[in-house]
Structure 1
Amino acid sequence: MAKAIVKEFGENANIIPPFTCDYGCNVKVGDNTVINHSGVFLDTNEINIGKHALIGPKSGLYGAIHPFDVEARNEGIEKAKTINIGDGAWLGGKVIVVPGVSIGKHSVIGAGSVVTKDIPDDVVAVGNPCRVIRKITEDDKINPIRKK
């Protein structure tokens, strides 16, 4: 069903319903990406999500920009900017990404964050507004115990 809704939908990708988008024709989802339940994508411009990305539940990617001027807003005037989510990025639950933002590959965005500016590769970023708190390091790796 997802392949009928969005423009590009990668192999082994998954959208867990419910899922809401404005058009769908502006959404590209990479291979092995998971969009958890209650995602809202306002794709008035492109929303590009890389491979192996995780989008937490109740997250919103909002491409539309409405004018501050009430008269223009009342006339329905708006513009939109592209949102890019890099390969392997992880957005926690209830993350909001505003128009024109890019999140770098492998970066982690803490739950409840509001991402208003670009986030570089390989960092942990949190807050409202979202800000980088540190690089992802070797100490962040989990070494699972494997059965032989």
Structure 2
Amino acid sequence: MHNYDTVTGPSFSLKNRLGRVLWSLVSALLFRYSPNPMHRWRSFLLRSFGAKVGRGVHIYPKAKIWAPWNLELADQSSAADGAILYSQGKIYIGRRAVVSQGVHLCAGTHDYSQSGFPLITKPIYIGDHAWVAAEAFVHGGVSVGEGCVIGARSVVTKDMPPWMVCSGHPCKPIKKRIEEHQKQKFLQLQIT
């Protein structure tokens, strides 16, 4: 952090703030109003600002990204319109993971125990094949396990296990996630 007292000055360096101003202009003019199918164009813009973007990534034009240089999007991942990737800290979205509309991934907060409320950034990790459903909120420092499903409007304050359906406020594991092809194999084993 550039400054540990948010009352007396900004938390980020001048370089960071100028980068965000430039990104805001590019985002407003070239990213936000690009047609939905132009995923490669938006991936190019994100890469131009330091994001690590895999193949076949689908970032929709009304997704809000705070700092692309803190973002890593694995192959075939997606973030829907209205998703907020508040990347004050690092955010990783795994292979074939889905971040639905209105989801808020918040990688920054403030230390309320200190008088200057210094900024704290903590990374967010969304595992491969995971799905964070509509309007869920994921706190910084959280890992969503591989194949995990986070229910709509859940508030995720701690790590969620792989291949589980999790939901609630606070979010908790509810049941195992079994994909259709896994059910078919299980049924075939029971028959034989």
Fold shared by both chains (TM-score > 0.5) = yes
Q: Show the counterpart of 1:125.
A: 166
Distance apart, 1:23 and its partner CA: 1.1
RMSD, aligned CA:
1.9
For the pair 1:72 / 2:116, whether they are aligned, the reply is yes
Distance apart, 1:67 and its partner CA: 1.8
Question: Which of 111, 125, 132 is the equivalent residue of 1:91?
Answer: 132
Q: Which has the higher strand share?
A: 1
* CA distance in 2 between partners of 1:129 and 1:120 (Å): 14
Q: Show the counterpart of 1:15.
A: 59
Q: Deviations over 1:52-90 (max 9, x none)?
A: 0111101110010212147312xxx20100100000001
Report the CA distance shift for 1:87/1:138 in structure 2 as closer, same or farther (over 3 A): closer
SS at match of 2:174: strand
Distance apart, 1:137 and its partner CA: 2.9
Mapping of 1:31-70 within 5 angstroms?
Answer: 31-69=75-113
Aligned-partner residue type, residue 126 of structure 1 = S
Task: Return 5+ residue gaps in structure 2 as ranges.
Answer: 1-41, 185-192
Aligned-partner residue type, residue 134 of structure 1 = K
Distance apart, 1:118 and its partner CA: 0.1
Q: Show the counterpart of 2:4.
A: none
Mapping of 1:109-120 within 5 angstroms?
Answer: 109-120=150-161
* CA distance in 2 between partners of 1:22 and 1:58 (Å): 15
Aligned-partner residue type, residue 78 of structure 1 = L
Q: Which moved more, 1:105-114 or 1:14-23?
A: 14-23
Aligned-partner residue type, residue 16 of structure 1 = Y
Distance apart, 1:140 and its partner CA: 8.6
* CA distance in 2 between partners of 1:4 and 1:142 (Å): 41
Task: Return 5+ residue gaps in structure 1 as ranges.
Answer: 144-148
CA contact (8 A) 2:74 2:93 kept: yes
* CA distance in 1 between partners of 2:66 and 2:59 (Å): 16
Higher relative contact order (CA 8 A, sep 6+): 1
* Aligned residue pairs, count: 140
CA contact (8 A) 2:43 2:57 kept: no
Report the CA distance shift for 1:57/1:138 in structure 2 as closer, same or farther (over 3 A): closer
Normalised to the residue count of structure 2, the TM-score between the two structures is 0.68
Normalised to the residue count of structure 1, the TM-score between the two structures is 0.87
Greater C-alpha radius of gyration: 2
* CA distance in 1 between partners of 2:62 and 2:152 (Å): 19
Q: Show the counterpart of 1:103.
A: 144
Aligned-partner residue type, residue 114 of structure 1 = V
